[in-house]
Amino acid sequence: MNFPLQSSSFELTYPIVEGTRYKNVNFLVSKSPERIACFTKKGNVQVSDHDAKKVMISGQLMHGHLEGSYMRKKQLGEPIRKLDSVRTLLIDNYDSYTYNIYQELSIVNGVPPVVVRNDEWTREDVLHYLYEENAFDNIVISPGPGSPTCPEDIGICLQLLLECCDIPILGVCLGHQALGYVHGAKVVHASDPIHGRLSELEHNGCRLFLDIPSGRNSGFKVVRYHSLVIDSESLPEELIPIAWTSSTGLLSFLEPKEPTIVSDGYESETERCILYDSVSANVINGNSNLFSRSDEVRSGRVLMGIMHSTRPHYGLQFHPESIATCHGRQIFMNFREITEDYWRKLRSSYIKEKFSHYTACMQVSDASRMFTEVPRSIECKNSALHQLHKKDPRSMKLLYSGTELNSSSKLERVNAPNPATDHKCLKLKWRKFDHLAGQVGHARNIFCGLFGHKKADNTFWLDSSSVEKGRARFSFMGGKGGSLWQQLTFRLSDQSDVISKCEGYLSIEDSQGSTRSIFLEEGFLEFLNKELLSFRYSKLDYEGLPFDFHGGYVGYIGYGLKVECGVANRHKSKTPDACFFFADNLVVVDHQNDDVYLLSIHEESTCMTTWLDDTEQKLLSLKASARGKLETQDSHPVMFSPCKAGFVAEKPREQYIKDVGKCLEYIKDGESYELCLTTQIRKSIGEINTLGLYLHLREKNPAPYAAWLNFSKEDLCICCSSPERFLQLDRSGILEAKPIKGTIARGITQEEDDQLKLKLQFSEKDQAENLMIVDLLRNDLGRVCEPGSVYVPRLMDVESYATVHTMVSTIRGKKQSNVSAVDCVKAAFPGGSMTGAPKLRSMEILDTLESCPRGIYSGSIGFFSYNQTFDLNIVIRTVIIHNGEASIGAGGAIVALSNPEDEYEEMILKTRAPAKALLEFQ
């Protein structure tokens, strides 16, 4: 197909059109009672189905009514001055990349956009703010799962594209498809679903691509996440193609023959264009058979961008906000300039008068409150805007936040702690013992000597058992101790399968053994938030400590607590949904400097206990074990099948492979980009030394985020050898996530091992998995971090462990000052590497495919310190022992490139280390 290389006439002279409201548009957002398949197969092509039995929108019908669109009335006057900032209404289609766009627009526009989900404002609400309040200068429509032909997927977006003829609009991915569909173009299945993969683009030089190169080898590479496309042959005359793939080939992120410069994300727009590692290229030269290469797209060039010929409306099929897209920020800058020029050329006296009064508010994640009547807080299901259904938004005014990036608006918490009478004033005492760890047998001997008696009941050990290459530095351990010690056990109620129901029962046991129960209507995380906010302390108490855990809550958050983050549970866990100790006494081992610390906290009004003196005496009396520091085995695992060793699989091989196929169908239909399908294997066990099992596991499979937790009253022991950090918040306010996507077994010989490591590094499938989750975590951190602060210092590194190589990335950002530690967790939980993207839709799909609750698996283990820092892992490579049964969860990310049989083998691979350790120890 030949695309025209011309610009639209409206870019030079904008039309001034008067019109009236088109009143018969309520059918555009009619809701179907359940999700429906919006495509049917005709011949060899998947096309949109306009069958009257399905509740969807006719693009041809809407196309015939465009002349009746709601238009802003114009009056002649003086030209509008250049905008100091551009105020964007960002429509979120329940996507997991929306806040990447939010971060970019915050930087480019000079003020953060207002984010509204596609079903939270009515048509009248939006038009009120656009045309009566003049609160926004442009609109951006986000990506999202599904199809623009399904009303529940696209919400109000089609109405905006139809009626807002004179508002600059940019649609991304699903928004791009909606722009084509609303004007009569057909949305069809792509010849291949493309997710987390790159293409070179060619464009027509229109203003949206100003100062961006074009064509093959130009450096303009973009990331694509889509299964559907606009049929370019069906484009009506008013829609002009402006971008398309410049070749039939697809690119993986890392290519073996180019040099590597990892972008920091925000320093330089040109440096976001990723280069590659020439050293690796030399190593693998001549071994191209090791690396999976993409097939060519069968249908030739694919339409990647459109614009309207008379309206300031643009659509982009690719994702300019992705970390691996080149020149993405330049596109957003160009859209800002288009917006500025558009309004500068219009003359309107009432806009000029009102401009200085209205501006978009600073929004903190989906859950920030936008209106003066509604306090800001992070709650379930985007509660920031949930109240709009109860009040008329037109009776409220948007908060003024000025044009500065760092807004000073305060975050009022709906469920803030009670007045000062409920505050707990904590004092910390600590002692340091230089270079003592090695003298007393290192962390293993310290834990066993101090806490290993009586079956190590009610003890914890956050164990950095793999500290090579700076992966981790500190281990924290402790047990039932001082007067502040507690055990918190939370179980969701039977009603918590409803999305708005987070309630459950909390049991609290104190240091004297007394137990009380509380019914928590707002859920466990909100309770934890209140408790942490109630602590008062002096920073001087921990000055000089090189770590961030100084006492507080240690335990786990189960996967089922996703209900507190907006997703209902289909399955109920047999284990508690959350279990924590409040640790008032703890021992810390610094593996880097070989130091040992003793810490004890107490309330200011109480006397210190003798714990520090007693523990110091016990510590100094410990003798190094005969073996000294444990030597981890560097040998590589032999083939081992858990299912042949007495484990019972929750899902047999045939069913797992079948479910992978179902995942691929969902991906093909645009319902998800990536689905992390999981299952569990189980084995009944008799009496077993659970601490001995953990010690054996940590020796065979050491990991930087390993953990031992023993909740003896629950008959629950957790032996975790996780290599993955979920989320960390340090005392300087820096958030860090380290998702893992991409795993391969170690080789038997050094040569084989090196080749397998390189095979993983340059695997197109694994790169696509990792890139999708990196973009998802950037989104999650972007909801609670300062605009412009989210970046990726390490992208797709390969790390090696005792049994596997893994692909790991690191994402960091600066937490906003008015967001709490628990708010940060709620914004990102569960970890995206265990769900897929878009997260909400993916979790809904996975709940229908998985036949059992994940429970503790896929949740997080770690600490919440009393000073609002935390560090949490992802619960993988873990043996859960509960009521005489051992269970091990495992899974893998299903993407468009997945092979069902290979996915099953990868899942089994991930169970081998913990399963083998259990069998060897029994």
- Encoded tokens for 753: 């091992």
| Residue 171 φ/ψ, nearest 5 degrees | -105, 130
Contact 826, 528 (CB under 8 A): no
Report d(CA 772, CA 224) in Å as an integer. Answer: 10
- Encoded tokens for 651: 């899902």
Report d(CA 76, CA 697) in Å as an integer. Answer: 77
- Going by C-alpha positions, the residue among 836, 528, 491, 807 that lies closest to residue 660 is 836
Per the residue annotation, which of 150, 173, 206, 502 is the catalytic one?
173
Beta bridge partners of 222: 199
Q: 95: helix, coil or strand?
A: coil
DSSP 876: -
Helix, strand, coil shares, percent, the chain, to 5: 30, 25, 45
Known active-site residue 319: yes
- Going by C-alpha positions, the residue among 158, 222, 215 that lies closest to residue 196 is 222
Beta bridge partners of 585: 600
Report d(CA 695, CA 710) in Å as an integer. Answer: 13
DSSP 490: E
Handedness of CA 473, 478, 482, 483 (dihedral sign): positive
Per the residue annotation, which of 319, 386, 550, 602 is the catalytic one?
319
Q: 558: helix, coil or strand?
A: coil
Q: Which residue type, as a one-letter code, is found at position 33?
A: P
Report d(CA 320, CA 328) in Å as an integer. Answer: 4
For the beta carbon of residue 446, count every other beta carbon within 10 angstroms.
23
Known active-site residue 607: no
Q: 193: helix, coil or strand?
A: strand
Q: 309: helix, coil or strand?
A: coil
Angle made by CA atoms 159, 165, 166, in degrees to the nearest 5: 130
Beta bridge partners of 814: 734
Q: 530: helix, coil or strand?
A: helix
Contact 599, 428 (CB under 8 A): yes
Strand 424-433 with 535-536, pairing: parallel
* H or E element that contains 794: strand 791-800
> Look-up: residue for tokens 């351990």?
477
* H or E element that contains 862: strand 860-865
Q: How far apart are the first and last CA of the chain?
A: 66
Per the residue annotation, which of 163, 200, 202, 321 is the catalytic one?
321
* H or E element that contains 282: helix 278-284
What residues contact residue 411 under an 8 Å CB cut-off, 6+ apart?
364, 368, 376, 377, 818, 819
Contact 793, 271 (CB under 8 A): no
Handedness of CA 557, 790, 818, 541 (dihedral sign): positive
Q: 584: helix, coil or strand?
A: coil
- For residue 656, give Cα distances in angstroms to 487, 853, 894: 37, 16, 12
- For residue 320, give Cα distances in angstroms to 107, 317, 451, 775, 865: 14, 9, 53, 11, 38
- Going by C-alpha positions, the residue among 828, 830, 826, 820 that lies closest to residue 865 is 820
Report d(CA 90, CA 133) in Å as an integer. Answer: 17
- In total, the chain counts a number of residues equal to 922
Report d(CA 416, CA 887) in Å as an integer. Answer: 38
Known active-site residue 786: no
* H or E element that contains 243: strand 239-245
- Encoded tokens for 40: 């049917």
Instruction: Provide the annotated active-site residues.
Output: 173, 319, 321
